């Protein structure tokens, strides 16, 4: 690691992060045969929240003297996180891992589109074209009207919408808000939401296998978070961000090995289109940032 450049180390952290998050998804999917969704989500949330509290206290980020506007944005982000988690895990319980992961790859396209529509960020015709083509890829993955289409595919899309609201909320926060505190608020909110939901279901006993899967989910989700923060702080975002698509490759392998699932050719074609257009969008954003930086330097000189 010491001999690698910051960008390469950031890319490695991003791959580790995406792998950990995908393995967490696999553990949660494995629990679907034994534990109700709300029970599994609540128990995972307890472990995740506890760890994030310890991390926040260790780094001195457990503070509450934030502006009222930031607290409102944290509340909105937390609500969006809870919605996204419920829709995503519900889809994950009922769909192949790789299919859900493929739909989730449309997130960069959706965030770019929402940023243009709601935050008035400049998006040129090239990126708008990439977004349009990318959403055609999403339709190939979802395949509405086909025999394999279910409402759980819509749930996966709704989880993307929730994540878009979550990410746009984070963009509007001031830089004084610690990232660990934001994650802690989200974990706490999801845990409370799942805890209330768990009151409506019959809790099931936790077998040794379920216990290991829960422990794995807690470990992987926390590891994914820590690695993602390291990735964003180590390398350039424009270089590091495209490596998030490693999650799809991991999902394909884990889904086949652990659950015997493999997407059909149309789904794979749609996933390839989504990834290609997403990479192009990230590339264009990187080029625009570099151009803006050059203009700013020229103005200072």
Distance CA 269, CA 246 (A): 16
CB count, 10 Å around CB of 268?
17
pLDDT of residue 39 exceeding 70, the answer is yes
Taking alpha carbons only, the member of 167, 195, 191 closest to residue 179 is 167
Mean pLDDT of all residues belonging to the chain: 87
Q: Give the pLDDT confidence of 19-31 residue by residue, as tens digits.
A: 999 999 999 999 9
For residues 147-168, give the mean pLDDT. Answer: 88
Tens digit of each residue's pLDDT (9 = 90 or more) over 226-238: 788 677 667 776 6
Per the model's pLDDT, the better-predicted residue between 92 and 300 turns out to be 92
pLDDT at position 159: 95
Q: What is the pLDDT of residue 102?
A: 92
Stretch 92-109: mean pLDDT: 91
Alpha-carbon distance 298 to 13, whole Å? 34
pLDDT value, residue 233: 66
- Output the pLDDT for position 94: 93
Contact 155, 100 (CB under 8 A): no
Query: Tokens 């009207």 map to which residue?
Result: 145
3-state secondary structure the chain: CCCCCHHHHHHHHHHHHHHHHHHHHHHHHHHHHCCCHHHHHHHHHHHHHHHHHHHHHHHCCCCCCCCHHHHHHHHHHHHHHHHHHHHHHHHHHHCCHHHHHHHHCCHHHHHHHHHHHHCCCCCCHHHHHHHHHHHHHHHHHHCCCCCCCCHHHHHHHHHHHHHHHHHHHHHHCCCCCCHHHHHHHHHHHHHHHHHHHHCCCCCCCCCHHHHHHHHHHHHHHHHHHHHHHHHHHHCCHHHHHHHHHHHHHHHHHHHHHHHCCCCCHHHHHHHHHHHHHHHHHHHHHHHHHHHHHHHHHHHHC
**Distance (Å, rounded) from C-alpha 81 to C-alpha 185?**
10
pLDDT band at 62 (very low <50, low <70, confident <90, very high): confident
Would you place residue 55 in the very low, low, confident or very high pLDDT band (cuts 50, 70, 90)? confident
Closest to 275 measured CA to CA, from 283, 285, 263, 265: 283
C-beta of residue 291 within 8 angstroms of C-beta of residue 122? no
Mean pLDDT, residues 287-292 taken together: 75
pLDDT at 155: 95
Packing angle, helices 265-300 and 125-142, rounded to 10: 160
- Note the pLDDT of residue 1: 56
- Structure confidence by residue, pLDDT tens digits, 187-206: 899 999 999 999 999 999 99
Q: How confident is the model at residue 84 (pLDDT cuts 50, 70, 90)?
A: very high
């Amino acid at each position: 690691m010491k001999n690698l450049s910051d960008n390469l180390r950031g890319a490695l952290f991003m791959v580790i992060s995406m792998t950990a998050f995908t393995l967490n998804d696999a553990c949660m999917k494995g629990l679907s045969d034994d534990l109700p969704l709300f029970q599994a989500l609540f128990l995972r949330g307890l472990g995740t929240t506890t760890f994030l509290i310890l991390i926040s206290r260790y780094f001195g980020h457990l503070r509450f003297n934030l502006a009222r506007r930031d607290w409102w944005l944290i509340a909105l982000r937390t609500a969006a996180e809870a919605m996204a988690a419920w829709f995503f895990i519900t889809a994950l319980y009922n769909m192949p891992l790789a299919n859900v992961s493929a739909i989730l790859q449309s997130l960069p396209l959706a965030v770019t589109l929402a940023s243009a529509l709601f935050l008035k960020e400049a998006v040129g015709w090239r990126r708008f074209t990439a977004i349009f083509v990318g959403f055609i890829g999403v339709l190939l993955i979802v395949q509405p009207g086909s025999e394999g289409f279910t409402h759980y595919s819509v749930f996966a899309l709704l989880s993307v919408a929730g994540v878009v609201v979550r990410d746009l909320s984070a963009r509007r926060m001031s830089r004084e808000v610690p990232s660990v505190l934001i994650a802690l608020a989200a974990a706490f909110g999801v845990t409370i939401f799942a805890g209330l939901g768990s009151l409506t279901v019959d809790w099931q006993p936790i077998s040794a296998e379920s216990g290991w899967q829960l422990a794995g989910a807690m470990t992987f989700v926390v590891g994914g978070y820590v690695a993602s923060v390291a990735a964003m702080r180590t390398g350039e975002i424009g270089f590091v961000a495209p490596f998030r698509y490693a999650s799809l490759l991991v999902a394909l392998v884990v889904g086949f090995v652990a659950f015997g699932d493999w997407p059909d050719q149309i789904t794979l074609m749609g996933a390839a289109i989504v990834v290609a257009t997403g990479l192009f969008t990230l590339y264009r954003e990187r080029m625009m940032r570099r151009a803006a930086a050059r203009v700013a330097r020229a103005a200072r000189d």
